[in-house]
Amino acid sequence: GQQLNQSPQSMFIQEGEDVSMNCTSSSIFNTWLWYKQDPGEGPVLLIALYKAGELTSNGRLTAQFGITRKDSFLNISASIPSDVGIYFCAGLKTSYDKVIFGPGTSLSVIP
Amino acid sequence: KAGVTQTPRYLIKTRGQQVTLSCSPISGHRSVSWYQQTPGQGLQFLFEYFSETQRNKGNFPGRFSGRQFSNSRSEMNVSTLELGDSALYLCASSLADHSYGYTFGSGTRLTVV
């Protein structure tokens, strides 16, 4: 079964607002990944994190690798309509293991 | 460079039939993983192939099988289709090491009627 939890499950925000979402696990991961999926497409990698405490940015997106190694956070600043989609966190225990995905956070941006 | 290509994009099959889905990875990627995505269960790992060998396996029944060819292209097969097999099937390719994540294809939308 799934080992990752994401919250919130869904969000409706106004254009221009900042967004925060998180991902938690009962077990430790050594790599955290954040993906975004647009309707009808496969997920696309946004950010990869490799060290506890690491903070990484990609444009308006910032993600953090939790200190406990059991969680990760994604922030989106100044949201725009094209940010709409489903955001998945994913964890990897070892380099050759399968990637485990969270259930996703659905983001809707109201213009 | 070309992305991950999945064919067909859409498929409608009848209960009891079998189906084969195809995936061509990014050139140079030797690992191909398959996921089933449904609204209720999210992205569920099916299996991974590397160098023509199954390297990781998820918790799906034996009706779901796969293989990988020497050019790294992969196919997955589902036999004796059930209504619950209706889903988006995603293929993802990567280098041997998954640390940099996967690159996903656009998926095959399978509908079983």
Is the distance from CB of B64 to CB of B48 less than 8 angstroms? no
- Distance (Å) from the alpha carbon of A106 to chain B's nearest alpha carbon: 12
Task: Count the residues in chain A.
Answer: 111
- Model pLDDT, residue B2: 74
- Distance (Å) from the alpha carbon of A67 to chain B's nearest alpha carbon: 19
- Distance (Å) from the alpha carbon of B108 to chain A's nearest alpha carbon: 10
- Model pLDDT, residue B38: 93
Contacts of A88 in chain B (CB under 8 A): 42-43
Give tens-digit pLDDT for A57-91.
999 999 999 999 999 999 999 999 999 999 999 99
Query: Which chain A residue lies closest to B94 (C-alpha atoms)?
Result: A96
Gap between the Cα atoms of A37 and A26, Å rounded: 25
Is the distance from CB of A21 to CB of A105 less than 8 angstroms? yes
Cross-chain Cβ contact B55/A90 below 8 Å: no
Query: Which chain B residue lies closest to A100 (C-alpha atoms)?
Result: B45
Mean pLDDT computed over every residue of chain B: 95
- Distance (Å) from the alpha carbon of A37 to chain B's nearest alpha carbon: 10
**B75 torsion bin: left (phi>0), alpha (psi -120 to 50), beta (else):** beta
Nearest to B99 among A35, A95, A103 (CB): A95
| Secondary structure (3-state) at A81 | helix
Vertex B106: Cα angle to A9 and B72 (nearest 5)? 125
Give tens-digit pLDDT for B57-111.
999 999 999 999 999 999 999 999 999 999 999 999 998 888 888 999 999 999 9
- Model pLDDT, residue A86: 97
Cross-chain Cβ contact A48/B103 below 8 Å: no
CA B42 to chain centre: 15
Gap between the Cα atoms of B113 and B95, Å rounded: 37
Gap between the Cα atoms of A44 and A63, Å rounded: 15
Over residues A31-46, mean pLDDT:
95
Is residue B17 very low, low, confident or very high in pLDDT (cuts 50, 70, 90)?
A: very high
Contacts of A96 in chain B (CB under 8 A): 55, 96-98
- Model pLDDT, residue B1: 58
Instruction: Out of A5-9, A96-100, B9-13, B82-86, pick the least confident.
Output: A96-100
- Report whether pLDDT(A1) > 60: no
**B10 torsion bin: left (phi>0), alpha (psi -120 to 50), beta (else):** beta
